[in-house]
Structure 1
């Protein structure tokens, strides 16, 4: 439950937690989106505290109802760093996010409190522009990074990623037939919820290993 007056932050805490994850939303959906809410619950069930927050542009959108693009990357990074600085608990801290949120997290991984980075659907490149790679944040991250990626993600599919020269501190776990939201097609035999559970289990194992 929230333990702050800041309406742009939501803290979901559990008894016996082993770590805390600051979990940032993607470009088009806020911290209370169905994906963010359901995934937070799955992480809570795995003894991980979750702190969600809205980037400033998204919080302003909620206030006035006007759609607007994400702010400049420097503003997004500053917002994430502020959340990290606010963290004062003794539990190990991890940072990450969904899509754009994971990219910003990778960029601020050098903050002293951070033990590792969690990425769900990392945007390796813009859609239909595979030549415009966004590997630099991952390559420069000096902490362990785990990425859970749908193997047909249009922002970085399995075939493409296996050709990238990723650093040794980066681990990528692919979910079969998953898209950018990890959602598989019906014919795959998998369900979206199954892939979310897999992702939560991968993250729990990563956090235990790095704590």
Structure 2
């Protein structure tokens, strides 16, 4: 599924269920893809709870760029994508998230998007070796509960528990969260469960781009 934004087209990979309990929208890091193992683990957790999942390849990555560009441009494009998805899925609760740079986007735009929660994987609290240049205000501005999942050895830092609703630190992991990426799904599952409806879980019925 292609979504045209003011800053170029984005690509959305959808996993839909019949009558989803919630919509989870996930995105990648600045040099990554929507097939990152930790993102896929969170996707599986959401599908197992009867949620629909949209994985968004942002315009800068679809154009082959590694640098995401100014935050305002990213956020404007993201909110355009969210608007299209909200029309498609109606009034179900929206949870948005991502890894690294994608986690920053999800936090910055959560309030404007009307998200009920945010899943922030490998949130880059500061550039490596420069803790003074903190991005903690992005976490604090979400306007919705934020789940942070970071590696204990992440050179980008680990948010303080006081700055998010819940912070899980995975021992031995670095920024990539690739030693045991399934752990991200195990952490996210109880977090997402609060938005799952009390009804039998539907099986995914369609996957497409």
- TM-score category by the smaller chain? 0.7 to 0.9
CA RMSD of the aligned region, Å?
2.3
1:29-72 per-position Cα deviation (integer Å, ceiling 9, x unaligned): 122445544553443234332111122111111xxxxx441121
**Structure 1 equivalent of residue 31 of structure 2:** 28
Matches within 5 A, 1:1-211: 4-6=1-3, 8-15=11-18, 17-33=20-36, 35-37=38-40, 39-61=42-64, 67-86=65-84, 87-88=86-87, 89=89, 90-111=91-112, 113-157=114-158, 161=159, 164=160, 166-167=162-163, 169-184=164-179, 192=180, 196-209=181-194
**Structure 2 equivalent of residue 189 of structure 1:** none
Provide TM-score, normalisation by structure 1.
0.78
For the residue of structure 1 that corresponds to 2:138, the secondary structure is: helix
Q: For residues 106 and 56 of structure 1, do their structure 2 counterparts lie closer, same or farther at Cα, with a shift above 3 Å needed?
A: same
CA contact (8 A) 1:123 1:156 kept: yes
Paired residues, what number?
187
Q: For residues 33 and 140 of structure 1, do their structure 2 counterparts lie closer, same or farther at Cα, with a shift above 3 Å needed?
A: closer
Provide TM-score, normalisation by structure 2.
0.78
For the residue of structure 2 that corresponds to 1:180, the secondary structure is: coil
Gaps of 5+ in 1: 62-66, 185-191
CA contact (8 A) 2:42 2:188 kept: no
| Bigger fraction of residues in strand | 2
Gaps of 5+ in 2: 4-9, 197-209
Indicate the structure whose relative CO is greater, using CA pairs within 8 Å and at least 6 residues apart. Answer: 2
